[in-house]
Amino acid sequence: MKKIFCAIALLAATLSVSAQDGVVRRARDKFVQAQDLAANNQRTEKEDAKLNELITSVMEMIEPTLTSPETKKQKANAWDIKANLELFQINPIITKLQADQPVDTAQFAQLVISALDAIEQCYKEEQASGILEKFKKDNTITVYSIKNKLYALNCRQYLAFCGQMFFTNKQYPKAVEAFKRYMNFADIYTIVAEETKMDPEDPNTAKMAYFTCLASYFAKDYKSLNEFMPLAKKYTDDINQVNQLEMTAYIEQGDTLGWLNAGKKIVLADPQSNDGIAQNILAYYFNKQDANGAAAFTEELLSADPDSKIGNYAKGLTLMNAKKYAEAIPFFDKAIQADPEFSDANYNAGVCYSNVGYDINESLNGKKMTPAQQKVEIQKVKDEYAKAEPYFLRVKELEPENPHKWASRLSTVYYILGDKAKQAEMDKLLE
C-alpha cells in the first residue's frame, strides 16, 4: 500500500507542474485576445467591458505562477506576460501625457518600475533555462528578451520623466528614487546593460547626476547626494550651481571640514569664477582667528591666479593686520584693478595711506629738527593723507548712503591737509 500511495503522490505533483505551465499558456492566449480588442479604437461598451474582463482575468491567472515553484518550463513566459500587462496599462497614460492631460505620477512610476522588474526577471529566467543558448543555434525559438530590450529602453526614459514630475510636485524622495534608478539602470537591468552603461564623460550623464543631487538635497538624502556629486561636478553648463549645491549640502550636514576642502578645490580650480566661495573661506579663517590658515590659503589662491581679486585683497588684509601698511597697498590696488567697484579694497587702501602718514607724524615726536626740516617731514605726512583722499572719495561714490564709513576718514584727511571747509562738510554729515 505504501508503494501505491507514493506513486499517487508523484502523479499529483507531476500533474500540478503541468497545470501551472498550462495556466501560463492560457493566460497568454487571453492576453492576445485583449491586445486584439485594444487595437480596435472604435470599441463598443460591451467590447470595453470584455477587454477589462480579460485583463483582470489574465492578472489573476498569472500572479500565482510567478512565484510558484511548480511553474517550470513557462517561467519566462509568465514574467513576459506580467511585463506586458504593466506596459498595457502604461500606454493610455502615455497618450494622456502626449495630450498634455494630467496623470497620476505615482501610478505611472509604479507601473514603469513593475514592467522593468518583470522584463529583467523574464530575462533571468531565459538565461537560467538555457533558451538563449538554444536561440543562438536555432533562431526559430521564441526569445522574449529580443522585443523586451526595446521596451526596457523606452521605460528608462519614462523613469527620467517620472523623476522630473516628482521633483516638480515637490515629492523629492520619490524623485530621488526615480533618478537613481535611471542612473544605475545598467546595474539593475542587465538585459540592456551594454546599451545603458553610463559614460562619465557624457554631458547628459553629468546633467542627470546633477538632477539626482538636486532632488537628494531637497529630500535631505545626503548619502545619495554625495554618491552622485563627483559625476554632477562634470556638468559644466551650470557648474556654479553645482558648486553651490555641494557647499550648501556640506553646511547643512554640519561637515565643516568637508565644506572647507570642497571649497578650496572649487576655488583653486577656477579662482576667477568663485570669488564668493573664496571670500567665505577667508571669512571662516578670520572668524576663527586662524591667521596661519588664512595666510596659507591666500598664498595658494595667488599661486593659482596672481590677479585674483579676493587673493590680493586677503594678502592686503594680512599685511595690514601686521601693520605693514605700505606693503599692503599694492595688493589692495590690484584687487581694485580686478574690480573697480570693490568698496572695501578702496577703503582699506585709504586707511593704509592714512596710517603711513600717521606713523610718519608719530616718528617726529621728540625729534630735533630745524624749521626747514620739520616742514619737509610734515609735508611727507600730508602727502600720504593726500594719497588716501581719492580712495575714500571712491568709497563715498560707491556707498553714498553710508557716510559713517567714509565721512570721518575724509574729515581727518581734510584736517591734516588744512581744508577747513571740506572738513566741516564731512563733520556735518556725522552729526
| DSSP symbols for 124-157 | HHHHHHTHHHHHHH-TTS--THHHHHHHHHHHHH
The amino acid that residue 328 corresponds to is A
Do 396 and 325 fall into the same domain?
no
Torsion angles phi and psi, residue 201, rounded to 5: -95, -5
Asked whether 312 and 338 are in contact (CB, 8 A), the reply is: yes
Q: Is residue 347 part of a domain?
A: yes
What pLDDT, on the 0 to 100 scale, is given for residue 139?
A: 64
The contacts found for 150-155 with CB under 8 angstroms, 24 or more apart, are 151/83, 151/87, 151/115, 151/119, 152/116, 152/119, 152/120, 152/189, 152/191, 152/192, 153/192, 153/195, 153/196, 155/90, 155/112, 155/115, 155/116, 155/119
Work out the angle at residue 227's Cα, subtended by the Cα atoms of residues 221 and 231, and round it to the nearest 5 degrees: 125
Residue of 326, 334, 382, 376 whose CA lies nearest to 351: 326
> Does residue 63 lie within any of the structural domains?
no
Judgement on whether residues 133 and 160 belong to the same structural domain of the protein: yes
Question: Which residue in this structure is represented by grid cell 502626449?
Answer: 98
pLDDT at 431: 84
Instruction: Give residue 69's pLDDT.
Output: 87
Q: What is the pTM of this model?
A: 0.76
Residue 217 located in a structural domain: no
What nine digits make up the cell of 396? Answer: 563715498
189 and 101 within one domain: yes
Within 10 angstroms of residue 37's Cβ, the number of other Cβ atoms is 16
Does 390 lie in the same domain as 286? Answer: no
**358 and 318 within one domain:** no
Whether residue 424 sits in one domain with residue 380: yes
CB atoms within 10 A of CB 24: 25
Residues 350 and 309 in one domain: no
Answer with the one of 300, 335, 370 that is the final residue of a domain: 335
User: How does the average pLDDT of the chain come out, rounded?
Assistant: 90
Residue 145 belongs to a domain: yes
Neighbouring C-beta atoms of residue 256, cutoff 10 Å = 12
Please list, residue by residue across 258-270, b when 16 or more beta carbons sit within 10 angstroms of its beta carbon and e when fewer do: bbbebbbebbbee
Asked if 121 and 150 sit in the same domain, the reply is yes
**Distance from C-alpha of 380 to C-alpha of 392, rounded to nearest angstrom:** 19
Assess if residue 376 is contained within a domain.
yes
Let me know whether 103 and 180 are in one domain: yes
* CA distances to 318, 343, 414 from 405, in Å: 21, 10, 16
- Cβ–Cβ < 8 Å for 360, 380: yes
Domain range for 363: 340-431
Split into its structural domains, the chain has a count of 3
Q: Has residue 386 been placed in a domain?
A: yes
Quick one: 124 and 175 in the same domain?
yes
* Domain end residue (candidates: 195, 213, 236): 195
Phi-psi domain of 43 (left: phi exceeds 0; alpha: psi -120 through 50; beta: other) = beta
Domain boundary at 306, 335, 364, which? 335
Lookup result for grid cell 532632488 = 215
Residue 296, domain member (yes or no): yes
Contact status, residue 182 vs residue 160, Cβ threshold 8 Å: yes
Distance CA 178, CA 116 (A): 12
Residues of the chain with confidence (pLDDT) below 50: 1-17
* CA nearest to 79, candidates 158, 191, 194, 192: 191
Whether residue 38 is contained in a domain is answered as no
For 131, how many CA atoms within 13 A lie in the half-sphere containing its CB? 20
Residues 159 and 110 in one domain: yes
- Rounded to an integer, what is the distance from CA 265 to the centroid of its chain? 17
Write the CATH number for 266. 1.25.40.10
Same domain, 300 and 347: no
- Dump the DSSP string for 32-82: HHHHHHHT-TT--HHHHHHHHHHHHHHHHHHHHHHH-TT--TTHHHHHHHH
Report the half-sphere exposure of 112 (CA within 13 A, side-chain side): 25
Distance from C-alpha of 237 to C-alpha of 179, rounded to nearest angstrom: 19
